[in-house]
């Protein structure tokens, strides 16, 4: 049985019925990782021993007649900025290269309670700062659709793990597009939930008002299944909402899209956009119309014009504050020095990579005396206007359909020396984080070159299920993302 071709619900059902053991499913995942990982570098840590122990525990639950959970025996990967007790959590950085947290992140607890088995921690741009997974202390990851290209970032390792068949579900974090953009580049689905839908307890912070955890998967059903598991209130995270969560699986299995008004953003189709991605938008709109939806043109002029500069003031400002804790004194990497100030300077200079240092410096500057009002305070005002602009748009539409990125996945090294062009790859995703909205990348097919195309769906706050419903209709037309194998690998 080829487990890499199976979705999570099929694996869980087979394990629960005793048709296959969790140990067999996890062993198959580890075998595939062993074969492909030298070329992909999608993982920083492979958790073989812990995974097999956990799989044996799940099999024991099945044998004793206990309910092993909705993800029974399903191998999963989590991004390496989510704490795993006793297993190193590096954030892709030298400064945390050997740090082993004393606790699990909330999403790790929820996955394991549901019967899932974590097989690895995925490669990522250092501290989630990047759009290509080339800014990792542990080396760049490759796109399994074409290993000469980037998998996107910062959650590129998680997206690549799902696309390559390591696992059916992987978790990433999204601060400005870090789930949706790599999902598009690797050809899988990826959901950034509403800010506050999923607990951030145990997620190493980048920008606390923007970060959100969400799933990657090769089927909308698996995305929905993962969301049913991880979207619950957590009192340990003060930003995690107490509101009741919907059943995402019901939305995937019985999508109700008839009568929905789908917004097309005029400004995002007028700018630079790869022709194949524009065709994906048009084709997806046709599919939704044939399912009973109406297409309405909307304007997001301020988001299109000011989203990028607004984000690159607010996010670095929050990062400069959050990353101040990494000083070589309390935990993590330390450079020895004759005095405390020299130790701070040496540790942070050699412990952080160039992109992280660039953003810390930017954030420190915009928060500094004399510049705070001109930059940071102004950005907060612009952010409010972006939120209001989305609110106005959602008075006339239920879901917005727009691109994920301006281009197909670019080649490794092409943008490393051009930070502005790298930042531009998230121009369509950043405003969604600034407004705290749910956004989802939905796979729409493979080009003749083998590179994937996708669209982005955005909904009002707390209407994440609408995205699942629309995605289920789109998937019915375009099919589930195939596992990347042969050709590039």
* Region of poorest pLDDT, from 92-106, 135-149, 328-342: 328-342
State the average pLDDT over residues 208-237.
98
Q: If you write DSSP's letter for every residue of 260-308 in order, what string do you get?
A: -EEEEEHHHHHSS--HHHHHHHHHHHHHHHHTT-EEEEE--HHHHHHHH
Residues 6+ apart with CB under 8 A from 327: 344, 347, 348
Helix/strand/coil for 169: strand
Helix/strand/coil for 120: strand
- List 170's β-bridge partners, or say none: 77, 216
| Catalytic pick among 10, 154, 161, 303 | 154
The answer to whether 425 and 131 are in contact (CB under 8 A) is yes
Beta strand pairing status for 117-122 and 75-79?
Answer: parallel
CA 411 from centre of chain: 20
pLDDT tens by residue, 250-271: 999 999 999 999 999 999 988 7
Share of the chain above pLDDT 90, in %: 94
Query: Does any domain span residue 290?
Result: no
Residues 6+ apart with CB under 8 A from 259: 292, 293, 294
pLDDT tens by residue, 107-147: 999 999 999 999 999 999 999 999 999 999 999 999 999 99
* Region of poorest pLDDT, from 137-141, 337-341, 454-458: 337-341
The CA-based angle 355-359-361, given to 5 degrees, is 115
Q: Give yes or no for residue 331 having a pLDDT over 90.
A: no
Q: Rounded to whole angstroms, how far apart are CA atoms 342 and 326?
A: 14
Looking at residue 229, which CATH number applies to its domain? 3.90.1300.10
Q: Rounded to whole angstroms, how far apart are CA atoms 441 and 196?
A: 19
Report pTM.
0.97
User: pLDDT value at position 274?
Assistant: 96
End-to-end Cα separation, the chain, in angstroms: 20
Identify the helix (H) or strand (E) that includes residue 361: helix 354-366
- List 457's β-bridge partners, or say none: 401, 440
| Catalytic pick among 142, 158, 178, 241 | 178
Query: Does any domain span residue 130?
Result: yes
Query: Does any domain span residue 299?
Result: no
Look up residue 235 and give its two tokens.
């009192």
Q: Give yes or no for residue 487 having a pLDDT over 50.
A: no
Q: Is 276 a catalytic residue?
A: no
Query: Does any domain span residue 183?
Result: yes
| Catalytic pick among 79, 121, 192, 412 | 79
Q: Give yes or no for residue 417 having a pLDDT over 60.
A: yes
130: containing domain: 3-260+436-446+464-478
DSSP state of 219: S
Q: Give yes or no for residue 421 having a pLDDT over 80.
A: yes
pLDDT tens by residue, 111-121: 999 999 999 99
Q: Give yes or no for residue 489 having a pLDDT over 70.
A: no
Matching residue, tokens 């043109």: 297
State the average pLDDT over residues 386-400.
98
State the average pLDDT over residues 184-204.
98
329 pLDDT band (50/70/90 cuts)?
confident
Q: Rounded to whole angstroms, how far apart are CA atoms 422 and 115?
A: 38
Q: Give yes or no for residue 37 having a pLDDT over 50.
A: yes
Look up residue 49 and give its two tokens.
């021993």
Q: Is 238 a catalytic residue?
A: no
Matching residue, tokens 């990792």: 136
Q: Is 258 a catalytic residue?
A: no
* Region of poorest pLDDT, from 286-290, 341-345, 409-413: 341-345
CB-based burial label for 20 (10 Å; 0-12, 13-18, 19+):
buried
Query: Does any domain span residue 118?
Result: yes
Q: Give yes or no for residue 359 having a pLDDT over 60.
A: yes
Query: Does any domain span residue 216?
Result: yes
The domain tally of the chain equals 1
Query: Does any domain span residue 421?
Result: no
Q: Rounded to whole angstroms, how far apart are CA atoms 414 and 150?
A: 10
CB-based burial label for 52 (10 Å; 0-12, 13-18, 19+):
middle
State the average pLDDT over residues 233-241.
97
The answer to whether 454 and 183 are in contact (CB under 8 A) is yes
Query: Does any domain span residue 312?
Result: no
The answer to whether 267 and 304 are in contact (CB under 8 A) is yes
Q: Rounded to whole angstroms, how far apart are CA atoms 482 and 474?
A: 15
User: pLDDT value at position 488?
Assistant: 53
């Amino acid at each position: 049985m080829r487990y890499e071709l199976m979705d999570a619900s099929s694996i869980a059902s087979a394990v629960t019925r005793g048709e296959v053991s969790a140990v067999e499913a996890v062993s198959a995942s580890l075998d595939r990782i062993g074969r492909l990982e030298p070329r992909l570098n999608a993982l920083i840590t492979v958790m073989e021993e812990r995974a097999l122990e956990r799989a044996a525990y799940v099999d024991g639950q099945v044998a004793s007649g206990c309910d092993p959970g909705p993800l029974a025996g399903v191998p999963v990967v989590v991004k390496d900025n989510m704490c795993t007790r006793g297993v190193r959590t590096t954030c892709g950085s030298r400064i945390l290269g050997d740090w082993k947290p004393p606790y699990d992140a909330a999403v790790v607890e929820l996955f394991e309670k549901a019967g899932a088995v974590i097989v690895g921690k995925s490669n990522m741009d250092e501290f989630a700062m990047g759009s290509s997974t080339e800014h990792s202390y542990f080396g760049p990851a490759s796109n399994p659709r074409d290993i000469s290209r980037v998998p996107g970032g910062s959650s590129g390792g998680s997206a690549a793990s799902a696309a390559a068949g390591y696992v059916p579900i992987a978790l990433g974090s999204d601060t400005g597009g870090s789930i949706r953009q790599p999902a598009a580049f690797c050809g899988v689905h990826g959901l950034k939930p509403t800010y506050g839908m999923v607990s951030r307890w145990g997620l190493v912070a980048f920008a606390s008002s923007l970060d959100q955890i969400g799933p990657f998967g090769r089927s909308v059903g698996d995305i929905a299944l993962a969301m049913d598991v991880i979207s619950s209130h957590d009192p340990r995270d003060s930003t995690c909402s107490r509101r009741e969560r919907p059943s995402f699986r019901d939305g995937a299995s019985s999508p109700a899209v008839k009568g929905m008004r789908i917004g097309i953003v005029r400004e995002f189709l007028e700018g630079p956009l790869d022709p194949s991605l524009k065709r994906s938008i048009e084709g997806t709109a046709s599919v939704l119309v044939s399912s009973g939806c109406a297409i309405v043109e909307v304007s997001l002029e301020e988001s299109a014009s000011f989203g990028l500069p607004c984000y690159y003031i607010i996010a670095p400002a929050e990062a400069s504050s959050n990353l101040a804790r990494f000083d070589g004194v309390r935990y993590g990497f330390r450079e020895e020095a004759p005095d405390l100030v020299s130790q701070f300077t040496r540790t942070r200079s050699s412990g952080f990579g160039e992109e992280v240092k660039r953003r810390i410096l930017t954030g420190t500057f915009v928060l500094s005396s004399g510049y705070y009002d001109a930059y940071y305070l102004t950005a907060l005002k612009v952010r409010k206007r972006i939120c209001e602009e989305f609110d106005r748009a959602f008075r006339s539409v239920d879901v917005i359909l727009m691109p994920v990125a301006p281009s197909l996945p670019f080649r490794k090294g092409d943008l490393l020396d051009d930070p502005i062009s790298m930042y531009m790859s998230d121009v369509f995703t950043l405003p969604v984080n600034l407004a705290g909205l749910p956004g989802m990348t939905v796979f729409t097919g493979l080009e003749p070159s083998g590179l994937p195309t996708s669209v982005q769906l955005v909904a009002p706050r707390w209407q994440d299920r609408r995205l699942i419903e629309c995605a289920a209709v789109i998937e019915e037309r375009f099919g589930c993302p195939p596992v990347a194998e042969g050709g590039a690998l």
